[in-house]
Structure 1
Amino acid sequence: MPTTKEAPSAREQELLERAYAYSLTHGLGDLSLRPLATAIGSSPRVLLFLFGSKDGLIRALLARGRADQLELLRRTEQQYDEPPGLTVVAHELWTWLAAPERRPLMTFWVEAYGRSLVSPEGPWADFARSTVDDWLELLKTSAPDETEARRTGVLAMLRGALIDLLATNDLARTTAALDDYLAGTKTP
């Protein structure tokens, strides 16, 4: 018999938002419930009650981060009456991804993506794969005439440039690399 999870309570939603803000600045790698609970005005016991376990909380935080990403995808798709093409969408995505105010979110994403690859059975399970699928679907919608290989290449370049930007903070170099790559991937 299928079960449905109740909608989160206002308190659960409030604590999730606070925990999400905390994780954007502190990461998830060494997440400990006691310091997190103190920082967000709760207790470990309340967090365990609301989220079931530390893994449950991590899954909720990953889902919350993914919601930000999916909202970007929806907004990008809604901007155009017809498919804008890979180059246009890649430039828009890069502008959004590379914005200084999004660095904590992007660092969170990279951490979750990496953990999903090395801990595929834990709370991180399938995060990386789902992210790839989401982005490839956006690129397909934005550039239906492009090959899957070309869309995959653009996605790989965006991810690589983002990781490099986060490591070096060199926006000019990473943007130039992306522009150069996109200039070479235009459909003849």
Structure 2
Amino acid sequence: MSPSAAAPSARQTELLEAAYRYVLAHGLADLSLRPLATAIGSSPRVLLFLFGSKDGLVRALLARARADELAILDPLRGPGGPIGLTAATERVWAWLAAAGHRPLLRLWAEAYARSLVEPDGPWAGFARATVEDWLAVLAACQPPAERDTGPGTTRRTLALAVLRGALLDLLATDDEPRASAAVRHHLALLDG
């Protein structure tokens, strides 16, 4: 069993968190183990031992980012029953539009795009998995009578498409008022 397949050690968890903070600040493009290791107080050899390979480390970092993403979405599945697609979309957008979340969202966008152009690398399946995660959460927010219908699937797919499009626009332009106005307009149409 490789070190990365076993339960993570305290050192592996510590280095993963430090590496995660590093990639939130610097991105994954052109990630090199030597500068990363220096920045987090380790060595390339230790990182390779703990994560098996650079690809193993990238996969662990993407899993860590996905855990943050799911933590954002989990409260929408509240115990009080479905909150509705419009309310869920509003809450998600409010989180996405907050300036403090841009590092995670830039990392998400980079990993999403790389998984589309490098489908066999460490990014494999990242884009599909995040779409499925978000659609599942949005489905849980819909009333049961709507959730399992064709129109229900279409409504949550459209909500996700608008959120993702507005997010990419926001990351590109930093024009939060314009992107938020577009999301609010979409929500009004969704409720229409």
TM band (smaller chain): over 0.9
Query: 2:84 — aligned with what?
Result: 85
Distance in 1, matches of 2:97 and 2:106, equals: 11
Is 1:172 the equivalent of 2:171?
A: no
**Secondary structure of the structure 2 residue equivalent to 1:185:** helix
163, 167, 183: which one pairs with 1:162? 167
Query: 1:12 — aligned with what?
Result: 12
Query: 2:103 — aligned with what?
Result: 104
Distance in 2, matches of 1:76 and 1:46, equals: 39
Is 1:141 the equivalent of 2:140?
A: yes
Distance in 1, matches of 2:70 and 2:9, equals: 22
- 5+ residue gaps, structure 1, are none
Deviation per residue, 1:128-169 (Å, 9 max, x gap): 000000000011000141511111000000000001001111
- TM-score, normalised with respect to structure 2: 0.92
- The one-letter amino acid of 2:26's match is H
Contact 2:76/2:83 (<8 A) preserved:
no
Distance in 1, matches of 2:42 and 2:81, equals: 47
Q: Matched residue pairs, number? A: 183
Query: 1:115 — aligned with what?
Result: 114
Alpha-carbon distance, 1:7 to partner: 1.1
Distance in 2, matches of 1:98 and 1:114, equals: 20
Query: 1:40 — aligned with what?
Result: 40
Query: 1:75 — aligned with what?
Result: 75
Superposed CA RMSD in Å reads 1.3
| Seq. identity, % | 61
Is 1:24 the equivalent of 2:24?
A: yes
Alpha-carbon distance, 1:5 to partner: 3.1
Deviation per residue, 1:14-52 (Å, 9 max, x gap): 000000000001000110000000000000000000000
Query: 1:94 — aligned with what?
Result: 93
Distance in 1, matches of 2:10 and 2:90, equals: 37
Runs of 4 or more above 3 Å deviation = none
Alpha-carbon distance, 1:71 to partner: 1.0
Alpha-carbon distance, 1:76 to partner: 2.1
